[in-house]
A and B are shown apart, each in its own frame.
Chain A
Amino acid sequence: MASENKFLQDAKRVLDAAESNLDAGTVARLRAARRQALEQGRRQPARARPGWLLPLGGFATAGIALAVAGLLWFSAPNGNFMQTGVGDIELLTAQENPDFFTELEFYEWLEGSENAV
């Protein structure tokens, strides 16, 4: 315990020496910073936020969340979406060459004309 106290006293002594041995440039810079802080603080003191701002912000956020939820809930579902989606899946999973689908109408016409013959 005695050795710990001595260690702590020595550490404090070294830190005190560091404080008093600061070079003139550092001391001048600190003095200038203090003057600037006092001057700025005198001109532009921090304005306290009104107490009603916090609950107002909460209400605004809750309102936006409700509006988004309402829009999603009441918007009519689009029936075409699923049909288009299923059609697209068929195209994507088909084994045929994609060119086949671009010329599908021609093959349908060809099939029809062969049956006619």
Chain B
Amino acid sequence: MADDTVPTPEVPAANHIYEGPALEPLAALDRFLAGVERRAFVTARIATGNADDAHDIVQDAMLTLVRSYANRGEQEWGPLFHTILQSRITDWHRRNKVRNRLRVWFGRRDEDDEDDPLQNIADGRSPDPPAQLKDKQAMAALESAVGRLPLRQQQAFMLRVWEGLDVAQTARAMQCSEGSVKTHYSRAVHALREQLEDHL
């Protein structure tokens, strides 16, 4: 992971008025983001069902963290990043709802919605095809089932189960009460167990 990080930017010339975050946190921020970006992407992909939108959401969340919170303490970055990411996902759902309504009103269907036959061709380069196929099937089933949950249940499940946040941390990330988190989480687990017991 260390060689994956971005080199620390050069120190600006003495006569240049530098207004950005202190350079020292940038290296730490780079390490932090390198550690969370993949999880963030998977979370966003499950929430949106679309890799391109997931990339946009993750990039936006990273930029917001760097621009607005680089000077905060490192221990604050994790909770802040979760909050920003979940907020961006919620925004995406709101925009998507409006877009879908407009599509219904105008009776249009995007060409992107058409099935791409290339996506159905199996990838033959896997080193252990049976194991990876099993993982892929389980992942596809889980992604699909989590993606069908209402957004708040989805967020509570991912933050509690995958990110390992406790109820209070999850409530802060979702910007709701702890009681709501408990309700959403409980409903999510119940629904997913019913659908996935045979797949996992």
Give A residues with C-beta under 8 Å from B: 4, 7-8, 10-12, 14-15, 17-22, 26-27, 29-31, 33-46
User: What residues of chain B lie closer than 8 Å to A39, measured between beta carbons?
Assistant: 9
- Indicate whether B174 reaches chain A with its CB closer than 8 angstroms: no
The answer to whether A14 and B200 have CB atoms under 8 Å apart is yes
Q: In angstroms, how far is the closest chain A Cβ from the Cβ of B31?
A: 10
Within 8 A of A (CB), among B1-51: 4, 6, 9, 19-21, 23, 26, 29-30, 33-34, 37-39, 41-42, 51
Contacts known (A11-B161, A26-B41); A34 close to B62, Cβ less than 8 A: yes
User: What residues of chain A lie closer than 8 Å to B143, measured between beta carbons?
Assistant: 18
- Indicate whether B112 reaches chain A with its CB closer than 8 angstroms: no
The answer to whether A10 and B58 have CB atoms under 8 Å apart is no
- Indicate whether B162 reaches chain A with its CB closer than 8 angstroms: yes
Contact of A45 among B4, B19, B34 (CB under 8 A): B19
A sample of 28 cross-chain residue pairs with beta-carbon separation below 8 angstroms, ordered by A number, consists of A7-B196, A10-B200, A11-B161, A12-B161, A14-B138, A14-B142, A15-B142, A15-B162, A17-B135, A18-B135, A18-B139, A18-B143, A21-B135, A22-B41, A31-B4, A33-B37, A34-B33, A34-B34, A34-B62, A37-B59, A37-B62, A37-B66, A38-B26, A38-B30, A38-B33, A40-B67, A41-B21, A41-B63
Contacts known (A41-B63, A41-B70); A30 close to B55, Cβ less than 8 A: yes
The answer to whether A46 and B67 have CB atoms under 8 Å apart is yes
Give B residues with C-beta under 8 Å from A: 4, 6, 9, 19-21, 23, 26, 29-30, 33-34, 37-39, 41-42, 51, 55, 58-59, 62-63, 65-68, 70, 132, 135-136, 138-139, 142-143, 158, 161-162, 189, 192-193, 196-197, 200
User: What residues of chain B lie closer than 8 Å to A46, measured between beta carbons?
Assistant: 67-68
Interface SS of chain A: helix
Interface SS of chain B: helix
The answer to whether B189 and A4 have CB atoms under 8 Å apart is yes
The answer to whether A8 and B26 have CB atoms under 8 Å apart is no
User: What residues of chain B lie closer than 8 Å to A11, measured between beta carbons?
Assistant: 142, 161-162, 192, 196, 200
User: What residues of chain A lie closer than 8 Å to B41, measured between beta carbons?
Assistant: 22, 26, 30
The answer to whether B70 and A33 have CB atoms under 8 Å apart is no
Q: In angstroms, how far is the closest chain B Cβ from the Cβ of A49?
A: 12
Residue of B nearest to A36 (CB): B59
Extra 20 A-B pairs, beta carbons < 8 Å, given A7-B193, A8-B161, A21-B139: A4-B193, A7-B189, A7-B196, A10-B138, A10-B200, A17-B135, A18-B143, A20-B38, A22-B41, A22-B42, A30-B58, A31-B4, A33-B37, A33-B58, A34-B30, A34-B34, A37-B62, A38-B6, A38-B66, A45-B19
